[in-house]
Structures are given as structure tokens and as C-alpha cells.
Amino acid sequence: GAEPKQLAFSAALGITLGVFPIC
């Protein structure tokens, strides 16, 4: 499976890419 750190990074990246266009 994916490493917890990589998973957290992926989640943070997804949130960032999801929020920036809105802002």
C-alpha cells in the first residue's frame, strides 16, 4: 500500500489544487 506520509501529501495536494481555483 501507499506510505502514510505519501498518502497525507497526496491528500494535502488534492485539497490545495481543489481550493486554489476557488480562491
Q: What letter does residue 21 receive in the DSSP assignment?
A: T
Global pTM value: 0.46
Q: What letter does residue 20 receive in the DSSP assignment?
A: T
The pLDDT value recorded for residue 20 is: 77
- Residue owning grid cell 486554489: 20
Per-residue pLDDT of the chain (23 residues; tens, 9 = 90+): 668 888 889 888 888 888 877 66
Separation of alpha carbons 22 and 1, rounded Å: 32
